[in-house]
Amino acid sequence: MTGSGDSVEKQVENLTAEDAREEFLELQTLLWAANREYHSSDAPSISDADYDTAKRRYLDLLDQFPELRKNATQAATVGAPIADGFTKVTHAVRMLSLGNAFEDEDVQNFDTSIRKYLGLDREAALSYTAEPKIDGLSLSLRYENGELVQAATRGDGETGENVTANARTIQALPHRLTGAPAILEVRGEVYMSHPDFEALNARILAKHQADPNPNKKEPKLFANPRNAAAGSLRQLDSRITAERPLRFFAYAWGELSEPLAETQWGAIERLAALGFETNPLTAQCSSPADLLAHYRQIEEQRASLDYDIDGVVYKVDDLSLQERLGFRSTTPRWAIAHKFPAELAWTRLEAIDIQVGRTGALSPVARLQPVTVGGVVVSNATLHNEDYIKGFDSKGEEIRGGKDIRVGDWVQVYRAGDVIPKVADVDLTKRPDDAVPFEFPTTCPECGSQAVREEGDAVRRCVGGIICPAQAVEKLKHFVSRKAFDIDGLGAKQIEMFYEDEHLPIRTPADIFTLQSRDSENLSKLEKRKGWGDQSASNLWAAIDEKRTIAFGRLLFALGIRHVGEVGARDLALHYGDWDVMAQAVDMARAAALAHRAADEAEEAERVAAAEHGRRARVKEARDRALAESNVPDAATAAWSDLTGVDGIGATLGLSLSDAFANSDERAAFDALRAHLTIVPPEAPQKDSPVAGKTVVFTGTLEKMTRAEAKARAEALGAKVSGSVSKKTDLLVAGPGAGSKAKKAADLGIETVDEDGWLELIAGA
């Protein structure tokens, strides 16, 4: 295992932007499945730690590759839909997950990012709390005038399961509080101690052994205390829950009629005074060094605790700073979970299969002799791309000491930072004599089309497009996914069925909306299928009809255009406001898009030529020359600048969008779908603010707030924040050091204010 840690680290460091994007696509289905298994079924196939580290993997990739925010759809996922049998509870305050840290450096970066966001220097005092992260089930308890009136699970973060009757049976939970705020939502973790867990399984086994029935089935024992706690709390019969020894640690809160305290530490002390059990290992810390010291202390005690923990949670202590830091889409900026290390294992590589994804990417997958890694049986692992298999990163530098990966090899597998296992190392001493280098295919294994690897791209892609079954099916699955059209009764399995159907095929998104009209035999074609009848078919027609009206941003995301994720789709929708306006603008920008692609190629060619001849690369000159020779019309240049000037969009997404609309087959599919839909334009988050609907650009140095705070505030007030100045810019906020943007704004006659002017403008909004 020597050097395995280096191999793992290099794998992360040497990911290309394309590798990162492919990993996002690869993780989407697995993360959603893990959510359902963990939160709805209480039968996860991956450990709690692996799920959390997968979320951290997303954040790590976002930090390294900011453009991935357009693809980070799964990062928005918290929990899972509620299970059948429970009524719904809408959380007054969302129950969010936490970002994760795995290395000491991550903890230091957490502190640095908070200071940067708040504009604090290194010497400024900043206090934290550190508490064990309990491996249990999240529960929110609502008290009104001191009475316990409701208990709910996390669910999907916004809507949970009403488990009030079950929660009332937990002896550790007070039913009435004295001296509490009129409205108090206490949040924490339901868990089961190790002794109680063992006793529960022993009782189940004893009951089975006492049953005289000779045909009795083997008893279903709980796999671990977390599953036992979750399964017990989510019983439909509260009498069963009452028989289970559940416990509860309080560590947070939701809706409050008045603050509990001014600090996290004070609030925890207040909860303890009200009668809730809080974790005695919680401590106040004044620096990252203190946090790490407390982490080590808890880690040393981990084996002796009578409950499961999988890390330590750090939170900014000052609640006013927590409020100022706010939240990302699914995680608070002011808290992070420092996870305990994951495990590694060695096993045999039995085969390498090639899978074709939604974007045509050929992804190699290692088929492994099953092995347990971190408490989970692993039989597959990702191999990224052909360079990775050969032992090189995207820059041509060696990884794993230059050792390639071959079928039959003895490989080390790890799961740190990701739910998808990875190959960290190869033991050459155990390599079979007949093992041969793996030949990566140059044709698509699904449709036989050519698989092309473009210059600078780490991934080989099938050029078949919609004629490739793998791409078509995956695009359709994405189209009906939860964050896209979310058509009830038409999921991944149904898409596969209809795609292969001879009578009622779904090959393009528009086919979904003509399905009923094509079923001319009064639903009989559907009724002939197993599990389908008149009622189920009618339900499907109703569900499809319900989605004929769709939000612009949601439609754009559903199309599955490469690089256009949920956030990017929303930003484009806000910028253009109308589908036809966007389509016309993208068409107008096509000539400029092609010119910029040619400029990229010229830049790369100059870089290569310079390296070959040992001279300094003149990439800017090569790029400028290529753009000058393209003779792009002014209208196309303006349209391209407007498209790529949308904050967070950029040239990569712009080129991808342009390619999709210029592809005749793709465009025909878009236009056919458009005919069946009513597209709802986006609404600004706040209509009555002085900047609602305006395009704002920030430039220079802001002294009273960070750039991130300014952008978040502007967007919350309904403004569009752009990264460049154009004729469509309404307001430029210029701090000290403003340069070319301020000059361009002046030339265009755009209103310009300083930071004080901006704060005065939005005061009270």
pLDDT at 400 over 60: yes
Q: How far apart are CA 137 and CA 551, in angstroms?
A: 34
Q: Over the stretch 683-739, which tens digit does the pLDDT of each residue have? A: 655 567 888 888 899 888 888 887 778 887 887 788 888 878 888 899 999 888 887
Q: Over the stretch 197-225, which tens digit does the pLDDT of each residue have? A: 889 989 988 888 888 776 677 888 887 78
Mean pLDDT of 72-82: 45
Mean pLDDT of 760-764: 85
Based on the fold, state whether residues 702 and 676 are members of the same structural domain.
no
Q: How far apart are CA 741 and CA 633, in angstroms?
A: 23
Mean pLDDT of the chain: 83
Based on the fold, state whether residues 493 and 388 are members of the same structural domain.
no
| CA 250 vs CA 131, 272, 281: distances in Å | 11, 8, 13
User: In this structure, are residues 499 and 507 in contact, taking their beta carbons and an 8 Å threshold?
Assistant: yes
Confidence band for 337, pLDDT divided at 50, 70 and 90: very high
Q: Is residue 507 one of the residues assigned to a domain?
A: yes
Based on the fold, state whether residues 142 and 267 are members of the same structural domain.
yes
DSSP letter at 327?
B
Please report the pLDDT score of residue 289 as a whole number. 96
Based on the fold, state whether residues 122 and 203 are members of the same structural domain.
yes
Q: Over the stretch 496-532, which tens digit does the pLDDT of each residue have? A: 888 888 778 899 999 999 988 887 654 455 555 555 6
Please report the pLDDT score of residue 194 as a whole number. 84
User: In this structure, are residues 624 and 596 in contact, taking their beta carbons and an 8 Å threshold?
Assistant: no
From 133, 315, 403, 525, the catalytic residue: 133
Burial environment of residue 471 by CB neighbours within 10 A (0 to 12, 13 to 18, 19 or more): buried
Mean pLDDT of 643-647: 82
Q: Is residue 671 one of the residues assigned to a domain?
A: yes
Based on the fold, state whether residues 102 and 71 are members of the same structural domain.
no
User: In this structure, are residues 7 and 400 in contact, taking their beta carbons and an 8 Å threshold?
Assistant: yes
Mean pLDDT of 328-343: 83
pLDDT at 292 over 80: yes
How large is the greatest C-alpha to C-alpha distance in the chain, in angstroms? Answer: 91
Q: Is residue 181 one of the residues assigned to a domain?
A: yes
Confidence band for 140, pLDDT divided at 50, 70 and 90: very high
Mean pLDDT of 9-24: 56
Based on the fold, state whether residues 139 and 202 are members of the same structural domain.
yes
Where a domain ends, among 547, 580, 612? 547
- The Cα angle at residue 479 between residues 477 and 483, in degrees rounded to 5: 105
Based on the fold, state whether residues 646 and 707 are members of the same structural domain.
no
Please report the pLDDT score of residue 710 as a whole number. 84
CATH value at residue 401: 2.40.50.140
User: In this structure, are residues 487 and 543 in contact, taking their beta carbons and an 8 Å threshold?
Assistant: yes
pLDDT at 78 over 50: no
CATH value at residue 711: 3.40.50.10190
Where a domain ends, among 339, 372, 401? 339
Domain that holds residue 358: 4-77+342-430
Confidence band for 348, pLDDT divided at 50, 70 and 90: very high
Confidence band for 53, pLDDT divided at 50, 70 and 90: low
Q: Is residue 33 one of the residues assigned to a domain?
A: yes
Confidence band for 14, pLDDT divided at 50, 70 and 90: low
| Beta-sheet pairing, 159-161 with 309-316 | unpaired
* Count of the separate structural domains present in the chain: 5
Based on the fold, state whether residues 367 and 331 are members of the same structural domain.
no
pLDDT at 451 over 50: yes
Where a domain ends, among 547, 580, 598? 547
Q: Over the stretch 593-618, which tens digit does the pLDDT of each residue have? A: 899 888 888 887 888 788 777 888 78
More confident residue, 765 or 419: 765
pLDDT at 27 over 80: no
Please report the pLDDT score of residue 599 as a whole number. 85
Residue 311 belongs to what H/E stretch? strand 309-316
Mean pLDDT of 567-573: 86
CATH value at residue 540: 1.10.150.20
Q: Is residue 686 one of the residues assigned to a domain?
A: no
Residue 109 belongs to what H/E stretch? helix 104-118
Query: Can you give the length of the chain in residues?
Result: 765
Q: How far apart are CA 535 and CA 540, in angstroms?
A: 9
Which of 371, 262, 400 is CA-nearest to residue 319?
Answer: 262
Based on the fold, state whether residues 470 and 543 are members of the same structural domain.
yes
Q: How far apart are CA 167 and CA 440, in angstroms?
A: 55
φ/ψ region of 336 (left if φ > 0, alpha if ψ in -120 to 50, else beta) reads beta
Sheet containing 247-256: give its strands across. Answer: 147-153, 137-144, 183-191, 247-256
Q: Hey, how many other C-beta atoms are within 10 angstroms of the C-beta on 80?
A: 21
The structure tokens listed for 329 are 């889409």
Per the listing, tokens 């080989």 go with 460
Confidence band for 545, pLDDT divided at 50, 70 and 90: very high
Based on the fold, state whether residues 519 and 397 are members of the same structural domain.
no
User: In this structure, are residues 200 and 222 in contact, taking their beta carbons and an 8 Å threshold?
Assistant: yes
Q: Is the dihedral of CA 312, 313, 316, 317 positive or negative?
A: negative
Based on the fold, state whether residues 491 and 559 are members of the same structural domain.
no
Which of 654, 648, 635, 650 is CA-nearest to residue 720?
Answer: 648
Please report the pLDDT score of residue 466 as a whole number. 72
Mean pLDDT of 238-253: 91
Instruction: Concatenate the DSSP letters of all residues of 469-529 into one string.
Output: HHHHHHHHHHHTSTTTT--TT--HHHHHHHHH-SSS---SHHHHHTHHHH-TTTTHHHHTS
The structure tokens listed for 520 are 């001319």
Q: Is residue 688 one of the residues assigned to a domain?
A: no
CATH value at residue 151: 3.30.470.30
Based on the fold, state whether residues 188 and 267 are members of the same structural domain.
yes
Q: Is residue 442 one of the residues assigned to a domain?
A: no
Burial environment of residue 528 by CB neighbours within 10 A (0 to 12, 13 to 18, 19 or more): exposed
Q: Is residue 444 one of the residues assigned to a domain?
A: no
Confidence band for 63, pLDDT divided at 50, 70 and 90: low
Residue 667 belongs to what H/E stretch? helix 664-674
Q: Mention every residue, 6+ apart, whose C-beta is less than 8 A from residue 485.
A: 479, 547, 550, 554, 558
Mean pLDDT of 627-642: 89
Is 133 considered catalytic here? yes
Q: pLDDT exceeding 90 applies to what percent of the chain?
A: 38
The structure tokens listed for 77 are 């996922």
Q: Mention every residue, 6+ apart, whose C-beta is less than 8 A from residue 435.
A: 406, 407, 408, 409
Please report the pLDDT score of residue 715 as a whole number. 79
